[in-house]
Amino acid sequence: MPEKIILAYSGGLDTSVAIRWLKKDRGYDVIALTVDVGMDRSREELQSRALAAGAEKHVWRDAQETFIRYFAFAALSAGARYQGHYPLATALSRPLIARELVEAARTEGASAVAHGCTGKGNDQVRIDVSVHALAPDLKIVAPLREWEMDRESEMAYAHEHGIPVSVTKASPYSIDENLWGRSIETGVLEDPWLEPPADVYLWTKAPAEAPDEPRYIEIGFSQGVPVSLDGKPADAVSLIKGLNAIAGEHGIGRIDTVEDRLVGIKSREIYEAPAATVLLAAHEGLESLTLSKDQRRLKSRLAQEYAEIVYNGLWFSAHHQDVAAYIQSTQRHVTGDVRVKLHKGSAAVVGRRSPKSLYDFSLATYDKTDQFDRSAATGFIEIWGLPVRVQAQAQLLGGEQPQ
Ligand code: ARG
């Protein structure tokens, strides 16, 4: 009996060719697993492609809700953007896909799992590290890391073995997408000096072509998690889908950046993340009202740490659990509404309110209802400035004058 292998199957050329290669060159019975994290492909189409390529069976897992609730929203609570830009859509999906691979391997009695990641990217690291954290006994095969084929030879291989390749889906770019965002690489984008051509973008209008009239939306949060749109309660998946459409229409969420991969390469990346962009801004707007200065300061440092953890494939680590526990705890009063103005590529927070707000009008106001005790300010400044005065006298004023 041949051993069984579970292949993470997207339906593209790489993973279709991989089915045949794993079967023919490696002697596995291949079970193709598609983890749906919000992809624009039909189950029937993928199934027939997988079987035509030589899979024993095609398994489909709808993981959209899990992905948004436990992966994307965790990163939202953290305020995570890798290197200040990338909301981590692709990176967040990898540990979930790895977990599904492991589960399928257990259910099907497989001894190995496979994926279509190349040997130059971050995704291979994320999937391999995650699979082995959960199941150290499973063998991992990464056909694209092993075979010597370029895209042309892959096409020829597909042709030779009667593997259907949809020509219409052929794109000059390497694309990965899920509900949290779309990642686009390669082709002309490899020149970081060149502006991305218009055909790179699919989810977002060019800001210049977006409606002249701004649109205002209201997002309701409960303990850091978005729960309503324009006053109507919405489940996680419909909320993200709705926001992607609305914000995309207004040209929001285009990101053009050069990022540092874990494997040491700088790479030019384009992202489209309309919903993520709006939600990250809105969430931060609500935190400005509901978290203290100290909480905000530590949280913004941890946002970077969290982004590194996700980007670097360390989802199933104790370090992640510890950082996530702090972040989770900070969210207990992040409840309320945020008004966002969408206009020609910008998503500006223009209003925020919360039943747990720390904003006190009577303290902040300059009008006559002011309750702030100004007379106490002098004494406060006296003590606050004490160490600065002492040091200035002893060390700075005596010798060289400070510039
Ligand atoms: N650079 C991004 C990341 O490492 C996106 C990767 C996109 N993957 C792809 N197959 N196009 O998360």
Q: What's the rounded mean pLDDT across residues 102-116?
A: 98
Strands 29-36 and 57-62: parallel
Which pLDDT tens digit goes with each residue over 271-327? 999 999 999 999 999 999 999 999 999 999 999 999 999 999 999 999 999 999 999
Interval between CA 65 and ligand 1 midpoint (Å): 21
Nearest residue to 61 (alpha-carbon basis) of 24, 18, 108: 108
Which atom number of ligand 1 is nearest to the Cα of residue 175? 11
User: Is the distance from the beta carbon of residue 269 to the nearest atom of ligand 1 less than 6 Å?
Assistant: yes
> Given 77, 123, 182, 337, which residue is catalytic?
123
Q: Residue 199 has what pLDDT?
A: 95
- In the residue annotation, 20 being an active-site residue is answered as no
Q: Residue 359 has what pLDDT?
A: 97
Q: What's the rounded mean pLDDT across residues 173-200?
A: 95
Domains of the chain with bracketed CATH: 4-171 (3.40.50.620), 177-353 (3.90.1260.10), 361-396 (1.20.5)
Q: What is the pLDDT confidence band of residue 401, given thresholds at 50, 70 and 90?
A: low
Q: What's the rounded mean pLDDT across residues 5-14?
A: 95
User: Is the distance from the beta carbon of residue 122 to the nearest atom of ligand 1 less than 6 Å?
Assistant: yes
> Given 94, 182, 254, 352, which residue is catalytic?
94
Q: Residue 100 has what pLDDT?
A: 98
- In the residue annotation, 14 being an active-site residue is answered as yes
Model pTM score: 0.95
* Long-range contacts of residues 117-120, Cβ cutoff 8 Å, at least 24 apart: 117/142, 117/144, 117/145, 118/144, 118/145, 119/144, 119/145, 120/261, 120/263, 120/265
Q: Residue 41 has what pLDDT?
A: 85
Q: What's the rounded mean pLDDT across residues 56-67?
A: 98
- In the residue annotation, 230 being an active-site residue is answered as no
Q: Tell me which of 115, 151, 185 to substitute to probe ligand 1's pocket, judged by most ligand atoms within 8 Å of the beta carbon.
A: 185
Which atom number of ligand 1 is nearest to the Cα of residue 123? 4
For the chain, give the mean pLDDT. 95
Q: Residue 40 has what pLDDT?
A: 80
CA-to-CA separations, 286 to 124, 223, 261, 292, 391, in angstroms, rounded: 36, 10, 32, 12, 39
Q: Residue 168 has what pLDDT?
A: 47
Strands, E assignment, 142-272: 174-178, 181-185, 215-222, 225-229, 232-233, 254-260, 266-272
- Whether 387 has a pLDDT exceeding 90, the answer reads yes
Interval between CA 256 and ligand 1 midpoint (Å): 13
- In the residue annotation, 215 being an active-site residue is answered as no
Q: Residue 83 has what pLDDT?
A: 98
